[in-house]
């Protein structure tokens, strides 16, 4: 028995069925039509009682509430039935909306995916919504449910996997058909903590309304084959902590935000991630390790992080990052390790005057009330102008705030040593208080 690839809704709050909304259904459409071209796969529906049995042999029908389910026949025509021989591990049947309930401990159904595996689309129809994913699943025998972690105790109305990618129209038709069978059309739970964690066969995330979701902590953590994310509205989301850690994005999409506060470890070690668009990060307060280990990251377009308190290790180890546009870190007090190990980073915005327009240029560390820059610029490749500018901006901010005893590390890597201007401001930071300084610890090359 292989570990299950079928991640489903860990920690999602239980909700009753909702009959509103859903996909549009051609009156002549049937779910079996998705396999009419000879596609392999599986289709499980609990509404056809002649296909549901209490025993694996298929001799005792499942017909009433609380009857156990030992066999459900594959309605796709491919013969990929789901079974459970152990009595204590059988889910049970609920007649209303014809669905199965799993005990969130060890209830399971098992299917076998044939040689060659399947690459295509998976859909789960439940009493809270219908979920669609792109998947690549190797051959093998699998439990549909993983040790209770992803158990749809909220009620499984049906599910399908088709070997062959379904179009958006096909997914819409299937969604509508599952809704007609009793699945919820548009319920939007607020808690999706760890919902699809470790769902490593998922390549795409389709058609799910998360506009009311408040917590997506760990939702797609370690989905290391996830490349496509089609959600557009996360406006109610307050936490993306660890949400995409380890995913396989290259370019993250532009999604609507507005309430987001926590992105700690959100894209941690997304090794293929190249770009982050101009997302609304203005409400974020915690950004520790948000992009740490994103080795291919070169483009970061958010500009307002004025509410953030800590960016500890935010870009640590982003070895392809060469520069950044201005980011407003006005409220940040902790910059420890923010760029540590960014070995290609040569320039950052420093305050000055535009030589053509005469307009002021804002420095990234201008007007910050921070004294913790421990290893913030260690092992980078900053040029002399940037080193001098950072020293100047932090020193001038320190003069305003009066913060003493801070730490600023700019040594290691190929960072340039400070020039004449930089040395002056370094001395301002490091001189004793009795001599007008602020007694910071500052290291440079």
Q: What is the pLDDT of residues 55-114, one digit of tens each?
A: 999 999 999 999 999 999 999 999 999 999 999 999 999 998 899 998 877 888 999 999
Q: Beta partners for 256?
A: 233
- Tokens 């180890």 sit on residue: 317
**Ranges of residues in the chain whose predicted pLDDT is under 50:** 1-3, 7-21, 147-152
Q: What is the pLDDT of residue 362?
A: 86
Residue-wise over 206-228: b if at least 16 C-beta within 10 A, else e? bbbebeebbbbbbbbbbbbbbbe
Longest CA span, the chain: 93
Q: What is the pLDDT of residue 19?
A: 32
**Angle of CA points 144, 242, 175, to nearest 5°:** 40
Q: What is the pLDDT of residue 20?
A: 35
**Sign of the torsion formed by the C-alpha atoms of 10, 11, 15 and 20:** negative
Q: What is the pLDDT of residue 301?
A: 97
Q: Is-contact 114 139, C-beta < 8 A?
A: yes
Helices and strands in the chain: count of H runs, count of E runs = 3, 20
- Tokens 């804002």 sit on residue: 362
Dihedral pair phi/psi, residue 386, rounded to 5° = -70, -40
Rounded to whole angstroms, the Cα distance separating 257 from 276 reads: 14
Computed over every residue of the chain, the mean pLDDT equals: 90
Q: What is the pLDDT of residue 23?
A: 55
Q: What is the pLDDT of residue 188?
A: 61
Q: What is the pLDDT of residue 89?
A: 94
């Amino acid at each position: 028995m292989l570990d299950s690839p079928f991640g489903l809704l860990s920690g999602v709050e239980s909700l009753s069925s909702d009959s509103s909304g859903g996909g549009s259904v051609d009156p002549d459409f049937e779910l079996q039509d998705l396999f009419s071209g000879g596609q392999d796969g599986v289709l499980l529906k609990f509404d056809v009682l002649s296909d549901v049995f209490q025993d694996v042999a298929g001799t005792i029908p499942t017909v009433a509430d609380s009857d156990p389910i030992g066999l459900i026949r594959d309605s796709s025509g491919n013969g990929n039935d789901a079974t459970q021989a152990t009595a204590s591990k059988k889910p049970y049947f609920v007649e209303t909306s014809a669905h199965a309930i799993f005990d969130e401990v060890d209830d399971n159904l098992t299917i076998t995916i044939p040689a060659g595996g399947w690459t295509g689309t998976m859909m789960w129809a439940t009493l809270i919504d219908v979920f669609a994913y792109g998947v690549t699943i190797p051959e093998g025998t699998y439990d549909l449910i993983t040790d209770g972690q992803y158990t749809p105790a909220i009620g499984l109305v049906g599910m399908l996997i088709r070997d062959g990618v379904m179009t958006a129209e096909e997914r819409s038709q299937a969604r509508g058909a599952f809704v007609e069978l009793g699945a919820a059309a548009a319920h939007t739970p607020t808690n999706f903590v760890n919902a699809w964690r470790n769902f490593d066969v998922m390549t795409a995330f389709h058609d799910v309304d998360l506009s009311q979701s408040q917590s997506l902590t760990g939702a797609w953590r370690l989905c290391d084959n996830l490349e496509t994310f089609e959600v557009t509205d996360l406006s109610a989301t307050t936490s993306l902590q660890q949400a995409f850690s380890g995913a396989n994005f290259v370019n993250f999409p532009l999604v609507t935000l507005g309430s987001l506060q926590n992105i700690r470890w959100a894209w941690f070690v997304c090794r293929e991630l190249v770009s982050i668009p101009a997302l609304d990060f203005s409400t974020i307060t915690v950004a520790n390790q948000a992009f740490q280990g994103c080795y291919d990251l070169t483009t970061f377009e958010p500009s307002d992080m004025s509410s953030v308190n800590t960016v500890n290790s935010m870009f640590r180890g982003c070895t392809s990052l060469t520069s950044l546009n201005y980011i407003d870190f006005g409220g940040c007090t902790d910059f420890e390790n923010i760029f540590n190990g960014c070995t290609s980073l040569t320039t950052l915005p420093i305050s000055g005057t535009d030589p053509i327009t005469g307009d002021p240029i804002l420095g990234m560390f201008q007007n910050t009330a921070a004294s913790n820059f421990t290893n913030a610029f260690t092992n980078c490749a900053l040029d002399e102008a940037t080193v001098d500018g950072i020293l100047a901006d932090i020193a001038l901010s320190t003069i305003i705030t009066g913060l003493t005893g801070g730490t600023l590390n700019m040594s290691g890597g190929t960072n340039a040593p400070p020039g004449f201007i930089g040395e002056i401001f370094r001395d301002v930071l490091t001189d004793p208080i009795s001599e007008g300084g602020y007694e910071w610890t500052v290291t440079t090359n």
